[in-house]
Every structure is written in C-alpha cells, then in structure tokens.
Chain A
Amino acid sequence: MPIGLNFPTVLDAARTGAEWAWTTLYRDLAPAVLGYLRMNGTPDAEDLTQEVFVAVVRGLNEFEGNEDNFRSWVFVIAHRRMQDGRRHAVRHPVDSTPTQRLERPGGNVEDEAIESLETKRVREMFARLAGDQREVLLLRIVAGLSVNETAEVLGKTPGAVKQLQRRGLLALQRTSDKQAVTR
C-alpha cells in the first residue's frame, strides 16, 4: 500500500531518525523486499532484508525523488545485495546455510512450515525460470516496478526487459499447463 501524499513528510522525518517514519517505510516495503528475495531463492532472506533497510538508512541523505523513485531505489539496493550474497556463496561454499536455518529461532524453517501450499507452488514455479526472467517478473509483479524502473534496477534496456518478461510469462504458462496435466 503506497504511502501517497504523506511520503515527503515521512521521508523528512526518516532523515531525522524518527522511529515512526522508519516503521512506516518498513511496513510499506519490507513485505515486497522479503518476497522478492525469497522468490529468488535467496538464503537468509530475512537477514538480507534487514541489511537492505540498514543500507537504505545510510544512503537516505543521498536520495532525491518521489515515492516511486524511492521504491525503485530500495529494490536497486535489494537486488545488489542479493547478487553480492550469491557471489559470496560461490566464493565461500563452506558456509552452511541449512545449519544456520535450523539454529535460528523463528527463521525460514518455521516460515516454510506455515507457508501455504499455493505459495509454495508459486515459489517452485518461479524457481524454474531462468534467472533474468525471474528477476524481471518479480520486479514487475512483486515490487510493482514499471518496465523502465525494472530496467534501471537490473541495468538492462527497457526493450530487453519487455522481451524477458514475455519469455518469462511464456515459461510460467508452460509450467502451469504441465502441472495441470499432471494433476
């Protein structure tokens, strides 16, 4: 739910460190950020969500723009953090994420237990997409970004984003059809 007309006030208050302003921004964007990270199969999505918001706090004074720009900027940070995490996982494969999951109370194990079957099915379908198709579709659907904003986040041209979203939808359609036949 967008903040709307109050966004400039909230942003100014957030710059002064007002708790209510950060609570407002967090509640508006955290579900989408967390959903984007989870649907992309990011391990420790919750921890990464916190890192994203801490990075937003540190960079807020450099930010200029409206609510749409802010949303896009937050997802630029989220996407880059996710890529950094992937690179880190490639360089340090010893890090045992499943162990961390089991050890942390209230972590992914519990979340996955209460997750609905429909959500699990959707997540699995997106997991089968190519990485760039999945990222484009999630930024468009989950983050609610426009084609241009998505292109900016991913560092691609709008034309490339349109092409990727079309192919991604085709792939989702195909997977859905196969599951329907199987069922």
Chain B
Amino acid sequence: MRASGDYPHEMADLSDREIDALFAGRSNVGGGDLRELVQAAKVASQQPPAPEVQRRHLAAIVEEAQITSASQQGLAPRSRRNKMRRIFRPAWVKALAIVGVALAASTGLASAGVMPDPAQDALSKVAEKLGVDIPASDNAGKKAEDPESTEDEAGDEDTGTAGEDVEGAGTEGENGKSVADDVHAVLEDETLEGREKGDAVSDAASQNRQNETHSHSRVGNPSPSPAGGQPDELPGGNPNG
C-alpha cells in the first residue's frame, strides 16, 4: 500500500477533525470524488429493508421481546426472593446449626459424664428440670453424700476386691432407681392423701437411705478376699491371722 504522501492534494493534510467532518458530511474537505463516495455510502447504507422484510423482522423481534419480558416479569420476584434468601438464610442456618450442634454435643458429653464438673453439674440441674436424666459430676455426688467415700473407694481399690464391690455399687444404683420409682409411685398413688401420702413418701425415701447406707457400708468395709490377701493392710493388721 502506498503512503498518504501519494495523494498530497487530497489526504496528507486532513486532520482527524477534518476526517470527522468528512464522514459527517459537514465539511468541504477531501477530493470531490471522495466526498461523493462517502455520501453515496451514507445513502446506500440508509436504505431501509423492504416492507415485507421489515414486517418479518418486526414480528420476530416483538415476539421475542414479549417472551423475554414475560419470562423476566415471572422470574423477577423469584430471583428477588432467592436474593433475600441468600442474604438471610445463612444467618438462620448458621445460628440453628451452631445451637443444635452445641446442644447435641453438650448433652452427649453430659450423658457420657465426661464434661468438666461445673458444666456437668449445671447441665444436670437444667436437664433435671426438663425431665432428662443426665448424671451429675462424681465430685458433686461425693461432696453431697459422704466426704469419706473417697477414702472408702481408695481402700476399695487397694484391696483388689473390685469385682464384688463393683457389683455392690451396681446394686446401689439399681436400688436408687427402684426407690425413686417407689417414691414416684407413691406420689402418683391417688388412694393416698394427706398425711398418709406423706408418710408413704417418707417411708419410700427412708428405704432409699437405708439402702444407701447399706451399700456404703459394703463399699467402705469390703470383705477381704479369701485367697488374694491384702498387702496394704498387712502392716496394720495381724500378720498371723
């Protein structure tokens, strides 16, 4: 291609502004043929499509426009709702999930009795009010029941007679439950009223206390194993039997 200098009388001196004016048909710049050519191009390009082509085009365009408009009007509220859900749902879900997981985890841990003692006690109290059976911490029970029981249990461990003692402890637990059931049964017994009912409850509860005392006495004073011997007691006891 030749450079613009090949047509110094036509193009070399045309500025961008003059070219803009040439295209817009506002200026008498460029050669006569070039101006005519640009104008002819404008005229040629401004010929509208044939009427039947216009009708066909417009029918397709309007049909598409109405379909698009209808679908967007139908989808707009749904997309707005989705947007609102996207905004708010995570907060709901997160909050519920966190609370649910925390409750499940703490209840599970409390039921297993592996939570820290203060938390175990607190959850046990709350659960008791809700009617859910969650054991309190061991320390709380020991402190409430018998401060010396720790020593008893230590002695128990030292004696090496755990088999029988554990069985006894299990009996205590079972008795505790049965007595509680007894008390509950007495409370629900509609044939008893007033003082009679109070006495019955007292009897059931005292039965519970007796059982506990009996159990503790068994735990605290384990019977020595006939074959195993008790090495820790030997120094304090009679070595000769």
A contacts, CB < 8 Å to B: 14-19, 22-23, 26-27, 30-32, 34-36, 38-39, 46, 49-50, 53-54, 57-58, 60-61, 106, 110-111, 118-119, 121-123, 125-126, 137-138, 140-142, 144, 146-147, 162, 165-167, 169-174, 176-177, 180
Contacts and interface: CB of A to CB of B under 8 A. Distances in A.
Per DSSP, chain B at the interface is helix
A16 B70 CA distance: 8
A61 B40 CA distance: 36
B199 interface: no
Contacts of B20: 146-147
A32 B34 contact: no
B188 interface: no
Interface in B52-79: 52-54, 56-58, 60-62, 64-66, 68-70, 72
> Majority SS of interface residues in chain A?
helix
A17 B58 contact: no
B190 interface: no
A58 B72 CA distance: 10
Interface of B: 1-2, 4, 6-7, 10-11, 14, 16, 19-20, 22-24, 30-31, 33-34, 37-38, 40-50, 52-54, 56-58, 60-62, 64-66, 68-70, 72
A98 to B, nearest CB: 19
A182 B38 CA distance: 20
Contact of A31 (B30, B45, B61, B72): B45
Given A50-B61, A106-B53, A27 B48 contact: yes
